[in-house]
Amino acid sequence: MTAVDDRTTAIYESLEVPEGYKAELIRGEIVMMAGPDRVHNWIVESILDQIPRTDWHRAQTQDIAIPEQASEPQPDLVVYERGSVEGPGRLIPSAAVTMVVEVVSKTSGHRDYQEKRQLYAEGSIPVYLIVDPIEGVCLLLTEPSDGMPSGVSDYRSARTTKFGEPIAVDALGLTLDTSEFQTYSS
């Protein structure tokens, strides 16, 4: 990390985010966004309720450390196996994460579909689920690549389903029911 990255990280770590907002460090930039819509929260709640707590931690406000990146994203939901990370701390290493979920908002589409897709693949996170209440679809991304030979990391497998259709998440050993997922009102 460079001195600029270190300064940005220090500012980010000491940042006092106003109530109702969320901040993330993405590729050296501090990104602040307004709090989520109720539909967004209901979708995250539905997914969280379907993942067994006995096997998995399901964290909603958890920053992830991605090696060699000036990024500490905070997905809408982070799922990691119980026992994979011990003790206190603000960051979960991306190597310990099994799945991240992002629910697209009216302003986060590019970040969720492009920037974070590449970032999570660079962190070798096995499963990235994008839930899009604007379009009424889910995109399940698996099998992260290391960016070779193109130099851009991505996921080798992408499966799109409509709201209401089940989503098999093999890495968690479960199928998500999306019948409760709603779209944003116009």
11 in any annotated domain:
no
What is the pTM (predicted TM-score) of this model?
0.84
Rounded (10°) CA dihedral 115, 168, 160, 27:
0
DSSP lists the bridge partners of residue 103 as 131
pLDDT of residue 78: 97
136 in any annotated domain:
yes
Report residue 44's pLDDT band, with 50, 70 and 90 as the boundaries. Answer: very high
Q: Which amino acid is at 101?
A: V
17 in any annotated domain:
no
Signed CA dihedral, 8, 117, 170, 123: sign only: negative
38-68 burial, b at 16+ Cβ within 10 Å, e below that, comes to ebbebbbebbbebbeeeebbbbeebbbbbee
Report residue 35's pLDDT band, with 50, 70 and 90 as the boundaries. Answer: low
Report how many domains make up the chain: 1
* pLDDT of 5 strictly over 70: no
pLDDT of residue 178: 98
**C-alpha triplet 5, 8, 9: angle, nearest 5°:** 85
Over residues 117-155, the pLDDT tens digits come to 999 999 999 999 999 999 999 999 999 997 666 678 899
DSSP lists the bridge partners of residue 23 as 32
Distances 63 to 41, 87, 150 between C-alpha atoms, Å: 18, 15, 28
Q: Which domain holds residue 166?
A: 36-176
Higher per-residue confidence, 120 vs 17: 120
54 in any annotated domain:
yes
User: What number is the average pLDDT over the span 40-57?
Assistant: 96
State how far the Cα of 23 lies from the Cα of 167, in Å rounded to an integer: 29
78 in any annotated domain:
yes
Q: What is the CATH number of the domain that holds 87?
A: 3.90.1570.10
The pair of structure tokens assigned to 93 is 């290493």
24 in any annotated domain:
no
6 in any annotated domain:
no
Instruction: Write out the H or E segment, with its range, that includes residue 105.
Output: none
The pair of structure tokens assigned to 116 is 């974070």
With contact defined as beta carbons under 8 Å apart, do 24 and 47 qualify? no
181 in any annotated domain:
no
Report residue 107's pLDDT band, with 50, 70 and 90 as the boundaries. Answer: confident
